[in-house]
Chains A and B, each alone.
Chain A
């Protein structure tokens, strides 16, 4: 028997053809990891094409998992372990495997045909046979053959047998990482309840993979990662889009309003529509509109009628919704616009992540058209920030743009989910009916926060007209009066600015109150900034991390925080959009770190950048 090595953290990349079931393998391994009490973060990496040809580089589907006995902030930079089901999977992922890392290769996926499809040179030797993989720990297993052999006595066809291959990999990894098979067996039992033959086969192959590790002692030893110091409590695993769905449903329940979600399918936001469509028993109305414009306009119609109205999209869709959002600003109705950002401009990189809609969100409409913009910084945070977007919209009678991105949408992490009763209520106040011949209803009369009343059609005595033409203060009638227009522009701006008094002050996530460098982040860069700055702080650097949720208005104390540091560094997955806003708002010089490759910033990259900025002191 080998010995068991204890490790603090491990990153595994599962890679194979779209049909190899790597997403499921990754997800099941993740669940198994979570149950053991480790902290983790995951990120899937789907091919851009829906059905890319089998075996090709374009068809590689990946799932990255980073887990550890310490708090995990990102899905990891480079992998310790690469599972490569075929030659294409190896080729696309080898670059990010750590020196000396482990490769588990399915030899059957490296035959002549697979090599050709993966664009290895004609007549080239398999990389498993030549010196390509020198210095790595390579385990060559004919997973296809072993799986078929294990199922030889079943009545399944070859295709069905081959579909169990991923269970062999999973079983093998479970042995390697000293895991129990039970949770996965339970999962399979539910999944294949009505297909006993397939269920049996999957369990047989899972166990075969496990025993293969045990009996062949392929790895000289087993590896164990201890549980992480996570807060006590009950957890689940959650993806960003899923958390956003739960946040919207929760906001609806907490405000007592039915949820209306108008949307047009667009990557990577469609899963929000799919998710909400399943929750009709929560009074959720999903409406798949004819286009992006109709989606936002229908949502405004629903808001006018008293629903908690939300529309969701990605960058190109936000551009189309611009005019409708402008109307919502004029009508001063509550509306949440979710933008799950992706690479742009134009169609850009639909399946890749980017933070390049910030300026569009803040400024991208005709006229003076301010609205609150808030951003999500992790999959779990999507839940809380979605609720916050709804709160601001409803309590301040304003459209709110909620920024997520592809990295958050598809990433997952463990979540110590709250009790519904512990979440605060959202107060929706409607104008009250009027009977008799009292004074005329003034739809644009404002309270001390500059907020007008929500007056629903059907309410007795409140009949009034609203529209996109400039309105007279208080009465809301059409007005072309010059001073009135200026007043209304200013009051709409002041209304949004005043929200700063109703949001929390900005906190420093980690690091000192003042020092050499403030790393200012927003959105999905949170994990990598947190991880790197914690490391640097623990090594005595005077570096702090501030992660913005509120981008418009900024938290009221942000300027003071910025003043307490010698330098400010803003890392973004764009060409410097928050940097522009910070510079123009606070007239402060900032250092930028921009990576615009459709992929997240790695810890190594950020750390190098920070050290360089510090050195230039």
Chain B
């Protein structure tokens, strides 16, 4: 797909544009931009083969800051532009940037369809649980009864669960990371890029202006170890400061067990299997069960043909059966008569 440059591999700073970055100082977007630029360099990407496409929102300014091809499109529709572009040129390395409002409110429909169709694209959904660009209204991922400018008495909306949504759309790859863990974020970006198909990566992103600290429990040193669970394929679900906590499945119920008490060992724990949709569905719902830590990492990943693969294969199939189209025959149709 992407041709690595043989000479002068680009550095992270080569993927920065000369545009002033306009995010608020301290915004989580800065970290994400930085990790993306360094991952582009680590992957040895050719900037002429990369396209970054976004919708509208704070996060969607992203293309202006990456020295590649880019399109800052319209609100919520980035998946549709990506789909059309991939149908025109499947070889491009396309990265899509969206947010919780762009990707799950106004653009929820398109998100659903790009995931089920499985175009080969890296989707980064920056979730900050708030509308930043329009200055602080609740978003579809905001918690219930959140007080914002548009909900002074608390919002009434039940929040959407992005991971469960993506799984429900039959996404072939679903993962979660966070702005404040550069190492993990980079690892996830690498994995997303490696995945062939629509790679859905939710990135917790702090909006320090309108929703500061929404994810601090997962990102702060003091609480991170107890509240964040980093899942890895083939590994047991273990967390805690001293890796002393584990999760086992009791039937379909996830349970926290303590590994220090001698009652349970690692052998009793849930072993993460990226290819198991049922377990992925349970992992997706951890956020809704009180006490359970929040899973980060690749929740689900399977191999499934991409849309562009089957679309181009079908073009070839039809050509091999019917032969390359002949325009004169097409114009003539199959019933003619002559006026002499």
A interface residues (Cβ-Cβ under 8 A, vs B) = 31, 34-35, 37, 227, 230-238, 246, 249-250, 253, 258, 260, 262, 279-283, 285, 287, 289-291, 293-295, 297-307, 309, 323-324, 327, 331, 416-420, 456-469, 477-478
Contact = CB atoms under 8 A, between A and B. Distances in A.
B331 A323 contact: no
A282 B80 contact: no
B23 interface: no
A283 B70 CA distance: 26
Contacts of B47: 463
A458 B333 CA distance: 38
Contacts of B323: 281
Given A234-B337, A302-B84, A307-B87, A458 B49 contact: yes
A323 B338 CA distance: 48
Interface string B301-340: 0000000000100110011011111011011110111111
Contacts of A306: 88-89
30 contacts: A227-B339, A230-B339, A234-B336, A235-B336, A235-B339, A236-B332, A238-B333, A246-B330, A280-B318, A282-B330, A285-B315, A287-B84, A290-B109, A297-B73, A297-B81, A301-B80, A302-B85, A302-B87, A305-B85, A417-B331, A418-B331, A420-B328, A457-B49, A458-B91, A458-B92, A462-B69, A463-B67, A468-B72, A468-B73, A478-B64
Contacts of A295: 80
B110 A467 contact: no
B82 interface: yes
B83 interface: yes
B113 interface: yes
B141 interface: no
Contacts of B80: 289, 293-295, 297-298, 301
A-B interface, 5 closest residue pairs, ranked by CB to CB distance from nearest: A301-B84, A305-B88, A467-B72, A298-B84, A297-B80
B287 to A, nearest CB: 27
Contacts of B325: 249, 253, 279, 281-283
A307 B311 CA distance: 15
A230 B337 CA distance: 12
Contacts of B110: 290, 293-294, 297
A232 B339 CA distance: 5
B74 interface: yes
Contacts of A297: 73-74, 77, 80-81, 84, 110
Given A294-B80, A419-B328, A260 B88 contact: yes
Interface string B75-102: 0010111111111110110000000000
B109 A291 contact: yes
Contacts of B69: 457-458, 462-465
B42 interface: no
Contacts of A300: 73, 81, 84
B63 interface: yes
B337 A235 contact: yes
Max chain B Cβ within 10 angstroms of own Cβ: one of A34, A258, A280: A280
B327 A253 contact: yes
Nearest to A333: B71
Nearest to B82: A301
Interface string B124-163: 0000000000000000000000000000000000000000
B71 A467 contact: yes
Contact of A234 (B73, B92, B332): B332
Contacts of B328: 419-420
Contacts of B17: 465
Contacts of B337: 34-35, 37, 234-236
B70 A466 contact: yes
A324 B314 CA distance: 28
B273 to A, nearest CB: 31
Contacts of B332: 234, 236, 417
